[in-house]
């Protein structure tokens, strides 16, 4: 199966080609769905086989600690020759499988498959051409995501990186003719463009970082870069790490480039689940973990990653409290959880980061699909103020959603509890386990975020499923549980959200070995994984820290219960109008508006100047040339009287002139 | 006979034709004036041919006569077409070919 590694990204690509070229005209829905889901299922099966076989490969026995690694070079992609310095710029198209990418491809193909299946039900009202287009885009996304994950050199990763960005754009703007935000006059196509352009900002960083790394190590192969990471000048190393992190900020929606993700909810809900929750947005975290040895050599960059991640986590969680659109709540929650992952990566707890990435993929995909099921039942209504009491009408959705809420809130034994705890423990251990103030502060951020996360998720749950129904009578009559094709993925994901945590039970609890950590340890071994296990000296024992985190979660849930249990809407009405703070949070701290004023407004001014220059100067110049020709012909046409005798007279005098000229010469 | 007489007559004929073309408005008269000019040229050709005892001039006269016949045929056809369309042969009425 390992030899078939190249097929894993290629299968969804073939599905894309089939559905994209033939789907809209020739293939019936059933075949389109079969091709779309089948190609991903096949990729999942291949991934599973390849990962199992990888487990049988002994790690390289060169004395170094290293992970089992399988590299497959397919062809020479960019034969650019050698630089004057003697380093080889030839880029091969190759895939590499190691435990880290193994975890990723299983998450991507596995959860991707479930979401594909779900989409069959969710998109059933779409006309056939749209249905085929949707599955074609989804398959293209899978192909690009797998290329990103498996790419063995940075340019190949970058192709996948841009590819998923493209698919994100296409799918956010899938309903390009619909309005997304009436108030801001933003259409779905605008939302897609916003995502694409914001990502471009980060991509500049990615490319520059790639160039610095090539300049410093003379290769673009990831393995080669990581092996040479130790010998890079610390300054350059930090610069490269920060530039790559800028790229990761764009893709993984960190401050200040997170603004696109909430608007990415313009896409169909399965897209939000697949791309904007489970897979694509984790690409930034993945690349950061992939380049872990590089980051380990740049402690300053690590600190920045951790701080940005922590702040993003807290900020987005606060904004999430006040959102009224079911998908917007989840979007800010995703931003917040991605911040969590970045926080872990910045603290050097890469395993925890990947662990949370995995569990988050389960429960956030589940939350989004559950939200999709709710929206489906509510005939497109997304405002949670008009929901309520859906527990009775959507029993399966309700049960699975509840599991996901418990998982993200960090209640044991659900998945989020373990991964969140591992991140918090990792942060606490950061900086050599001495309990430095910075580590403690970041840990405090994490705890606070955990409490707020529990609060807003409980609020969401209560407003949607509990209490009295608040929707119009007509909608209530049409409430129905989604078809099996949608509920089955929900159930599978709920099982995953409930059980995935047991892959990484912290060792001090015992009972189960920490499978994931043992599996990933070789990958991060070279990146000072040992430091994560520095015992003693920590400010808090692991047990105490865990207790505090759990208490924070419970406190969050309890306070949300207290506020929203009875009259969900009365909560905000008690005071005379919303306070300044409420308005600030409701308005998402006016970050979009601030960016608009600081970045976009000057840009628009520049555009107006350029347009004026074009119209007033360039266009006038061109137009005056035309006007001159026009004037000349106005004069010239006066000669054309139309009278034959005039022409004859001119002819006569002309002849005389010629004659005189000939005779006198 | 001296060639000068022939040439003088020819010049006179040519001038009459030329003035006729320039001042008359009737298309048929203009056509006739053109014939007059052509024949003046013919006369010149013949005079010089006789003077220099060369056959070239005589041959040229025949060519000119042929062309003149063709030209008269085409010209008359145009005038008839013009008359049918506009009920006049006044060429100042046929001044559409202008701005």
| pLDDT one-digit tens code per residue, A359-385 | 999 999 999 999 999 988 888 888 888
The alpha-carbon gap from B12 to the nearest alpha carbon of chain A, in Å, equals 16
Q: Is the domain of A525 the same as that of A606?
A: no
pLDDT of residue A66: 62
Task: Judge whether residue A564 has pLDDT over 50.
Answer: yes
The average pLDDT across A91-98 equals 90
Does residue A627 form part of some domain?
yes
List of residues 6+ apart from B65 with CB closer than 8 A: B42
- Directed axis angle between helix A99-122 and helix A29-55, to 10°? 160
The alpha-carbon gap from B45 to the nearest alpha carbon of chain A, in Å, equals 18
Contacts of A645 in chain B (CB under 8 A): 21-23, 25, 91-92
CB nearest to B21's CB, from A638, A643, A648: A648
Contacts of B26 in chain A (CB under 8 A): none
Interface of A with B (CB under 8 A): 637-638, 640-645, 648-649, 652
Report how many domains make up chain B: 1
pLDDT of residue A578: 59
The alpha-carbon gap from B29 to the nearest alpha carbon of chain A, in Å, equals 13
Task: Judge whether residue A341 has pLDDT over 80.
Answer: yes
Residue A64's pLDDT band (cuts 50, 70, 90): very low
Task: Provide the domain limits for residue A628.
Answer: 590-664
Does residue A337 form part of some domain?
no
pLDDT of residue A244: 93
Task: Judge whether residue A205 has pLDDT over 60.
Answer: yes
Does residue B98 form part of some domain?
no
List of residues 6+ apart from A103 with CB closer than 8 A: A354, A358, A516, A519, A520
Q: Is the domain of A562 the same as that of A595?
A: no
Q: Which of A129-138, A568-577, A633-642, B25-34 has the lowest average pLDDT? A: A568-577
Per-residue pLDDT tens over the stretch A479-507:
888 888 889 999 999 999 988 888 887 77
Q: Is the domain of A401 the same as that of A481?
A: yes
Both ends of chain A: CA-CA distance in Å?
Answer: 98
Does residue A65 form part of some domain?
yes
Instruction: For residue A395, give Cα distances in angstroms to A15, A306, A391, A574.
Output: 34, 40, 6, 32
Longest alpha-carbon distance in chain B:
53
Residue A535's pLDDT band (cuts 50, 70, 90): very low
Does residue B96 form part of some domain?
no
Here the tokens at position A61 are 């026995």
Longest alpha-carbon distance in chain A:
123
Does residue B83 form part of some domain?
yes
Q: Is the domain of A510 the same as that of A365?
A: yes
Q: Is the domain of A62 the same as that of A96?
A: yes
The average pLDDT across A202-206 equals 93
Put simply, the answer to whether A641 touches B97 (Cβ < 8 Å) is no
Residue A526's pLDDT band (cuts 50, 70, 90): low
Does residue A292 form part of some domain?
no
- Domain final residue, candidates A246, A280, A314: A280
Chain B: residue whose CA lies nearest to A641: B98
Task: Judge whether A533 and A432 are in contact, CB under 8 Å.
Answer: no
Q: Is A577 left (phi over 0), alpha (psi -120 to 50) or beta?
A: left
Task: Judge whether A188 and A174 are in contact, CB under 8 Å.
Answer: yes
Report how many domains make up chain A: 3
Task: Judge whether B14 and B23 are in contact, CB under 8 Å.
Answer: no
Here the tokens at position A238 are 């930090």
Task: Provide the domain limits for residue B65.
Answer: 3-91
Task: Judge whether B33 and B20 are in contact, CB under 8 Å.
Answer: yes
Phi, psi of A220, rounded to the nearest 5 degrees: -110, -5
What is the C-alpha separation between A452 and A182, in angstroms, rounded?
29
Task: Judge whether residue A447 has pLDDT over 80.
Answer: yes
List of residues 6+ apart from A337 with CB closer than 8 A: A313, A356, A360, A364, A408, A453
- Identify which of A93, A61, A95, A89 has the alpha carbon closest to the alpha carbon of residue A76: A93
Q: Is the domain of A174 the same as that of A201?
A: yes
Contacts of B21 in chain A (CB under 8 A): 645, 648, 652
Put simply, the answer to whether B95 touches A648 (Cβ < 8 Å) is no
Does residue A42 form part of some domain?
yes
Task: Judge whether residue A532 has pLDDT over 50.
Answer: no
Q: Is the domain of A569 the same as that of A607?
A: no
Note whether B1 contacts A: Cβ–Cβ < 8 A: no
- Identify which of A550, A454, A504, A512 has the alpha carbon closest to the alpha carbon of residue A352: A504
Q: Is the domain of A10 the same as that of A138?
A: yes
List of residues 6+ apart from A533 with CB closer than 8 A: none
Model confidence, pTM: 0.80
Per-residue b or e along A369-408, where b marks 16 or more CB atoms closer than 10 Å to that residue's CB: bbbbbbbbbbeebbebeebbbbbebbebbbbbbebbbbbb
Q: Is the domain of A46 the same as that of A148?
A: yes
Put simply, the answer to whether A645 touches B18 (Cβ < 8 Å) is no
Q: Is the domain of A529 the same as that of A451?
A: yes
- Domain final residue, candidates A509, A544, A574: A574
Residue A233's pLDDT band (cuts 50, 70, 90): confident
User: Residues A461, A462, A467, CA angle at the centre, nearest 5°?
Assistant: 140
Task: Judge whether residue A15 has pLDDT over 50.
Answer: yes
User: Alpha carbon A56 to chain centroid distance?
Assistant: 33
Here the tokens at position A305 are 């990653």
Per-residue pLDDT tens over the stretch A424-438:
888 887 765 555 788
Give the CATH number, domain containing residue B31.
1.10.287.3510
Q: Is the domain of A486 the same as that of A386?
A: yes
Phi, psi of A557, rounded to the nearest 5 degrees: -65, -45
Per-residue pLDDT tens over the stretch B42-58:
999 999 998 888 899 99
pLDDT of residue A431: 60
Per-residue pLDDT tens over the stretch A313-327:
999 999 988 888 899
- Domain final residue, candidates A574, A609, A626: A574
Task: Judge whether residue A117 has pLDDT over 50.
Answer: yes
Q: Which of A332-336, A558-562, A580-584 has the lowest average pLDDT? A: A580-584
Note whether B25 contacts A: Cβ–Cβ < 8 A: yes
């Amino acid at each position: 199966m390992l030899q078939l590694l190249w097929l894993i990204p290629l299968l969804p690509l073939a599905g894309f080609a089939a559905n994209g070229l033939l789907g809209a005209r020739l293939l019936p829905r059933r075949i389109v769905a079969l091709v779309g889901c089948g190609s991903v299922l096949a990729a999942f099966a291949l991934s599973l086989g390849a990962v199992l076989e990888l487990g049988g490969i002994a790690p390289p026995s060169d004395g170094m600690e290293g992970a089992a690694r399988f590299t497959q070079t397919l062809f020479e992609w960019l034969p650019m020759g050698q630089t004057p310095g003697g380093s080889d710029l030839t880029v091969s198209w190759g895939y590499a499988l190691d435990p880290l990418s193994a975890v990723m491809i299983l998450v991507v193909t596995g959860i991707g498959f479930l979401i594909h299946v779900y989409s069959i039900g969710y998109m059933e009202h779409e006309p056939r051409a749209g249905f085929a287009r949707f599955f074609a885009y989804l398959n293209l996304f899978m192909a690009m995501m797998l290329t990103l994950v498996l790419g063995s050199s940075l340019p190949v990763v970058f192709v996948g990186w841009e590819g998923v960005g493209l698919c994100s754009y296409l799918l956010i703007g899938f309903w390009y003719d619909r309005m997304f935000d009436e108030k801001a006059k933003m259409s779905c196509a605008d939302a897609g463009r916003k995502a694409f352009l914001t990502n471009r900002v980060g991509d500049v960083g990615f490319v520059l970082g790639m160039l610095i790394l090539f300049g410093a190590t003379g290769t673009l192969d990831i393995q080669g870069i990581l092996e040479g990471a130790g010998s890079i000048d610390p300054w350059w190393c930090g610069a490269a790490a920060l530039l790559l992190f800028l790229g990761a900020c764009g893709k993984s929606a960190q401050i200040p480039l997170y603004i696109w993700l909430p608007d990415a909810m313009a896409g169909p809900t399965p897209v939000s689940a697949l791309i904007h929750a489970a897979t694509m947005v984790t690409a930034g975290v993945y690349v950061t973990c992939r380049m872990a040895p590089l980051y380990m050599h740049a402690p300053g960059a690590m600190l920045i990653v951790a701080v940005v991640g922590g702040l993003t986590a807290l900020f987005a969680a606060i904004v999430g409290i006040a959102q009224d659109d079911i998908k917007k709540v989840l979007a800010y929650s995703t931003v917040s959880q991605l911040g969590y992952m970045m926080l872990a990566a910045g603290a050097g707890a890469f395993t925890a980061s990947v662990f949370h990435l995995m569990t988050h993929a389960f429960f956030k995909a589940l939350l989004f699909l559950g939200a999709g099921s709710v929206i489906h039942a509510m005939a497109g209504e997304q405002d949670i103020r008009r929901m309520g009491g859906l527990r009775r009408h959507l029993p399966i959705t309700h049960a699975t959603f509840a599991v996901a809420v418990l998982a993200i809130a960090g209640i044991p034994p659900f998945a989020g509890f373990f991964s969140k705890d591992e991140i918090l423990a990792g942060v606490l251990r950061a900086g050599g386990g001495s309990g430095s103030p910075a580590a403690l502060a970041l840990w405090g951020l994490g705890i606070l975020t955990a409490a707020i996360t529990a609060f807003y998720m409980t609020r969401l749950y209560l407003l949607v499923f509990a209490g009295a129904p608040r929707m119009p009578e007509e909608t209530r009559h049409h409430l129905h549980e989604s078809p099996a094709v949608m509920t089955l993925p929900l159930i599978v994901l709920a099982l995953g959200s409930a059980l995935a945590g047991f892959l990484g039970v912290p060792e001090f609890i015992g009972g189960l070995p920490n499978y994931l950590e043992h599996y990933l340890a070789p990958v991060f071994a070279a990146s000072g994984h040992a430091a994560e296990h520095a015992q003693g000296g920590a400010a808090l024992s692991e047990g105490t820290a865990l207790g505090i985190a759990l208490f924070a979660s419970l406190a969050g849930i309890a306070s949300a219960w207290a506020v929203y249990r009875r009259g969900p809407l009365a909560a905000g009405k008690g005071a005379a109008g919303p306070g300044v703070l409420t308005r600030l949070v409701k308005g998402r701290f006016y970050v979009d508006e601030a960016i608009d004023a600081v970045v976009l407004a000057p840009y628009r001014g520049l555009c107006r100047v350029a347009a004026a220059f074009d119209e007033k100067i360039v266009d006038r110049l061109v137009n005056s040339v035309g006007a001159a020709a026009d004037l000349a012909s106005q004069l010239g046409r006066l000669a054309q009287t139309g009278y034959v005798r005039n022409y004859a007279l001119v002819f006569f005098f002309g002849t005389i002139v010629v004659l005189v000229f000939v005779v006198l010469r | 006979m001296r060639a000068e007489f022939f040439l003088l007559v020819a010049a006179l004929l040519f001038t009459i034709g030329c003035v006729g073309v320039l001042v008359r408005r009737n298309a048929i008269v203009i056509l006739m004036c053109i014939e007059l000019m052509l024949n003046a040229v013919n006369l010149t050709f013949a005079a010089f041919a006789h003077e220099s005892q060369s056959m070239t001039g005589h041959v040229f006269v025949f060519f000119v006569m042929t062309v003149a016949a063709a030209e008269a045929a085409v010209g008359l056809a145009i005038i008839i077409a013009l008359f049918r369309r506009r009920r006049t042969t006044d060429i100042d009425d046929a001044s559409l070919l202008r701005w």
